[in-house]
Chain A
Amino acid sequence: MKGYHLGELEELVLLIVGILDQEAYGVSVAEEIKNQMGRKVNISAIHTVLNRLEEKGFVKSHMGGATEERGGRRKRLFSLSASGRAAIHEVKMARNRLYDQLPPLALDFSNG
């Protein structure tokens, strides 16, 4: 478990950045979370998380894509880095491992 510690929101945002692939920036991440998970996350929280993820090296970013809505300001576009992908994978594996160890439900009669 070397350093792949991710918070819950961090994990979520990291996944969304991966899903959005090249189109991930503050607003789109927030929108995507809302659409996919039905959960409203404050935009400033997203920014904080994105910055933290970048510090940890899970995402990388570049400036680009000015639109009229933004008053001509550019977005900071995030994309998943290799270690970020590895981190998601690691987390997923860990979850799966844990999931597999769940005892079967009591009503499951298959084990007699």
Chain B
Amino acid sequence: MDKKRHFYPPKLADRFLEFYCVSDRLEQIQGDAYEMFYMDLEEKGITYARFRFIFHVFSFFKWSNIGFSKFLHFKTNNTVMIRSYFKIGWRNILKQKGTTFISVFGLSCAVGCCIVAYLFIANIWFKGLNQPNKDEIYQLVYTTEEDEGLVTYGTVAEPVSELIPNSLNSIKNQTKVLLEFPLLIQDNESFYQRSLFVDPAYMEMFQYRMEYGYPGALQETDQVILTHQLSEKLFGEMNPIGQELSLVINGEERLYKVGGVLEDLKDMDMFTFDLLVNFESHPHNMADIPLKDAWNKELWTFIQVEEGADIGLIESEMEGFTQIQNQVNPEKPYTKMGLIAYPDIIYNVGKIERGVRDFLGLGPQILLGTIGLFILLLAVFNYINLSVLMASRRLKEIGVRKVIGSKRSQLIFQFLSENLLICFFAIFLGCLLAGFVFLPGFNGIASKNLQIDLFRDKNIWIFLGSLLLVITLITGLYPATYLSSFKPIGILKGNQKIGSKSVFTSVLLSFQFTLAIISMVAAIAFVQTNYINANRDWGYSSADKIIVNVPESKDYVPLKNRLSALSSVVEVSGSQDYVGNWIREKEAFIGTEKYEVNFLNAESNYPELLDLELKEGRMFNPDLITDTQESILVNQTFLDDFGLEFPFDQSVEIDSVRYHVIGVVEDFHTTFFKNTIEPMAISASPDSTFNYLTLKMNPGSAEGSMEAVKKIWHETVPLGLFEGKLQTQVFEREIADVNGVAKLISFSAALSVILALLGLFGLVSLNMTAHIKDYCIRKVFGANVEDLSKKLLKRYLIIWGIAAVIGSVFSAFFITSFLDSFFAFHSGVGIIPLGFALFILLGVIISTVASQIWKVIKANPAVILKSE
């Protein structure tokens, strides 16, 4: 009989029997099978017995015995069980309103942040992928050999598209796509708008929902299709079909009618544009130009292939284009032409020059993703901590369930189902929060148009679903496995210790504190940097100056003359680029060494007009011919970078002209503080034509004269867009950008502190409720406030200390590199951000603990200790 202890029938076969057998026959059949097994075991040994058992299991596999009873049984039972789980879960939620609020609030904030981050990132990666024909559309590209190796271009020569219908097989549609910024004039207002010149087939290849009109409107060469935003901007709410507007392309004005309006694209289209125009109406299309010039014009070309077309074959057919191109244009031969699938365009950003998308903006994606993750972690940790603690009130339930016969897996399932309920609420609220609070705020800061589109965007459902699953599992698995691991005897006897003192809770809490510190340091350091930069010396005086653009060279002289005549204008100077914007880069040779320098070509009075500070040498003298021909001023960085001392004899050669350095000016910021100060050379040209005019105004009159300047400008240049601005405003956009980021980070820091506070509060107050008797007894025995606070505070202070060390180290590393990515000039993670962050967190901890100590102080020990 001893053998029975050691040997069991084969498990798998046994399971199989249990699986298929009808429930009311299972017991007898299984019993008989077991009995036979042990009989065989006695007689013939284990191998034979096992074999026989398996044989029996299969011989019982008969129609009358098969019922998949376990499976069916399990299912019917489960619905009841799940219902009861959810009922218990729901009652628990109602019973513990405070903690549930903390959990749900935290999680929904986190979900809201994650949705915003997701939408932002998805907007970049899934752009244009809701096009129904996306798998049939390909972009033509070519590869050519250049100095730095093979380079692939997203544009191809324009005549290629004319060859496509006759040369390539299985092509359904094709279109040229050319993006230009013509001046759009409507009702005496003019704007630069992104216009996409396309073939009419474009509207068949790419499907858009129309608000007004129909997609075929582009068949007419004099019709345009507007986006929703542009139509709203130009015509307001009315139906604009048939309204007139004109576009100025290459100085030529053409009249168009509005033929249609697209529905709001929600930033989800591959191309960024404001209006679609028929390609044939593009002026350069009309002109008869030499063959070679035509091949020199490059634009995007897209084809739509028939279903199941062989892309390799088409690519080999395109070999012919390469040959034609290389005959016509032997100076820049194509190595190879190819096709890029429309959905792959996004993955080729950076690999393809002049592509449809040439910028991914990883920085903001990482920033937002990190913020979302931080907040989510904080909320999740809160929830884990609280749910473990809250479950201490339910230990008896766990014990009783276990004694009655719940399996551990069933208990885990029960806790998880309660979690699912909470997470579901959180996600629901998170969607509302994101849709009505976070997204509008974020769109305002980032000037984006992100929306939660639950009806059309199936990816958001996948995202929300997986978020629900992930949060449920992360928040639920630890508490569920931990709580279900208790021994029922321990629980029911009251021996089971469960509590906030566990190491795990402390670890989570320190992690939370660390996250809070890092996000606070980021926010404070960023705001501090912003503040310092706002007061930073630009290196020149920006007051009382107006910059205006000169659209065409023929306008330069009249514009300059008429503006000089304005009474408030003191001095006028022209320049090729202006300080406050990008300055073109040139190669400079000093001796045989080659350097990259910014090269600013301007009139000789420009440096003085701008009040640049002279450090050594002298400024330009307009009367000296040598100054306007072979002299340059350089900035201090120029000397520092190239290791030169001021009076030096070597000449600087730029564009094969030899210049002599006559003076050194102090460094000044030509671009925003994001960029370092580059070595710069300023040359004075004789009065030629420049792209910009800088006006020096009478002190204090700059802002007031703007209107007058604009009026004169428009009188002089009838067809053009006035882009005048004050010199003080040159960094306006960048400042708005960093202020937006500052807001974003401050918001996330505030949120993370609030979440950490809520979590801590929940933890401390639950802890206090559990140990209130302990504290009351201490009180009775004469403990004073100091002793009590010391006892309660000690643990949290230790955690604070740990978090402070880790957080400081981490933020010193990460926040510094984070700031580096935004500013070349920043104050770094100094004592102020760190100190403030640590101090705020300490304050939060002390006040939270104090609120609980206050509870003890107010508590009457007699009442609490009596209640036993």
Contacts and interface: CB of A to CB of B under 8 A. Distances in A.
A7 to B, nearest CB: 16
Interface in B23-58: 27-36, 38-39, 56
A75 B31 CA distance: 7
Interface string A64-81: 001111110111100000
Contact of A44 (B4, B35, B39, B59): B59
A73 B59 CA distance: 20
Contacts of B64: 48, 51
A63 B36 contact: no
B4 A68 contact: yes
A43 B31 contact: no
Contact of B59 (A43, A67, A68, A76): A43
Contacts of A44: 56, 59-60, 62
Contact of B33 (A43, A48, A63, A68): A43
A71 B131 CA distance: 64
A73 B60 CA distance: 17
A51 B30 CA distance: 15
A18 interface: no
A11 B24 CA distance: 25
A70 B59 contact: no
A70 B29 CA distance: 10
Given A44-B62, A48-B64, A63-B27, A71 B34 contact: yes
A70 to B, nearest CB: 4
Nearest to A66: B31
Contacts of B35: 27, 67, 69-70
Given A27-B39, A43-B36, A44-B62, A73 B28 contact: yes
A73 B39 contact: no
A89 B152 CA distance: 99
Contact of B31 (A42, A48, A71): A71
B56 A69 contact: no
B56 A43 contact: yes
**Dominant SS at the B interface?**
helix
A25 interface: yes
A95 to B, nearest CB: 30
B34 A73 contact: yes
Contacts, number: 59
A84 interface: no
Contacts of B29: 26, 47
Contacts of B62: 44, 48
A47 B22 CA distance: 14
A11 to B, nearest CB: 21
Nearest to A71: B34
Contacts of B65: 47
A53 to B, nearest CB: 13
A76 B59 CA distance: 19
Nearest to B14: A71
A76 B34 CA distance: 14
Given A43-B33, A69-B38, A26 B28 contact: yes
Interface string B725-744: 00000000000000000000
A93 B30 CA distance: 38
Interface in B54-74: 56, 59-60, 62, 64-65
Contacts of B4: 68-69
A47 B36 contact: no
A9 to B, nearest CB: 15
A71 B33 CA distance: 10
Contacts of A68: 4
B24 to A, nearest CB: 10
Interface string B360-373: 00000000000000
A13 to B, nearest CB: 14
A26 B32 contact: yes
A63 B31 CA distance: 12
Contact of B36 (A27, A73, A74): A27
- Residue with the highest number of chain B CB atoms closer than 10 Å, among A27, A42, A73, A75: A73
Contacts of A26: 28-29, 32
Interface in B566-585: none
Given A44-B62, A51-B64, A25 B38 contact: no
A25 B56 contact: no
B65 to A, nearest CB: 8
Contacts of A45: 59
B52 to A, nearest CB: 9
A68 B35 CA distance: 9
A66 B34 CA distance: 12
Contacts of A25: 28, 32
Contact of B32 (A43, A63, A66): A43
Contacts of A73: 27-28, 30-31, 34
Contacts of B38: 69
A42 B59 contact: yes
B283 to A, nearest CB: 91
Nearest to B60: A44
Contacts of B59: 42-45
A39 B260 CA distance: 92
Nearest to B38: A69
Contacts of A71: 30-31, 34
B34 A69 contact: yes
A8 B417 CA distance: 57
A71 B35 CA distance: 8
Contacts of A51: 64
A45 to B, nearest CB: 8
A91 to B, nearest CB: 25
B340 to A, nearest CB: 65
A74 B34 CA distance: 11
6 contacts: A43-B32, A44-B59, A63-B28, A69-B39, A70-B34, A73-B27
Q: Which 6 A-B pairs give the minimum distances between C-beta atoms?
A: A73-B31, A70-B31, A44-B59, A26-B32, A76-B28, A44-B60
